Amino acid sequence: MNKHGIDPIVIPTDTDETLSGNPSMTEAVEDLSHRKALACYEIIKSDRELSKQYAGHIIIGADTIVYTDRILGKPEDADDARHMLESYRGTFHYVLTGISLIDSDSGKSEVMSDVTKVWCINYSDEDIEDYINREEPYDKAGAYAIQGYFGRYIDHIEGDYENVMGLPFYRIEDILKSYK
């Protein structure tokens, strides 16, 4: 957001990210992003002072997942990260980000998502071990950051690079302009 001239106000929420049923990858990220934005909206609306302070603001909730043959979130441990990284080797996977925007005054919301196909080179077991011994994989969906050390293992992408980083700004840019 800063890169695009927006200095966001971050309001952390404690949002349940458990997925129930068998949602598609798109349904999952859109639902998760909406839950996060809605939790923030409810925090603001439940407090008169916050409601006044954030009048006229747009709440943006986002969530990113990686999809191979199943939805992958953040790795639980080194073994989980290893399995994720092994599944990408020499092939492709999808990175999806769900975005939910809520008008802080009216509660009107818009939900969308973006998908990027990411192709990885055929890296070695040693490359995986080296990578999982770093701190980078453990707080990232799919156990990697394209903009970080793992970027050396990306062959190419089909879609938006910023989506893989976690927020496809081009998807929300026109909507934000319409609120001005």
Q: Which residues are catalytic?
A: 63
Q: Which residues, including other chains, have CB under 8 Å from residue 45's CB and lie 6 or more apart?
A: 51, 107
- The answer to whether 33 and 100 are in contact (CB under 8 A) is yes
CA angle (118 as vertex; 64, 97 as ends), nearest 5: 20
Longest CA pairwise span in the chain (Å): 56
- The answer to whether 39 and 109 are in contact (CB under 8 A) is no
- How far apart CA 76 and CA 81 sit, in angstroms, is 7
Q: In which residue are the tokens 């409810």 written?
A: 42
C-beta atoms surrounding 73 within 10 Å: 19
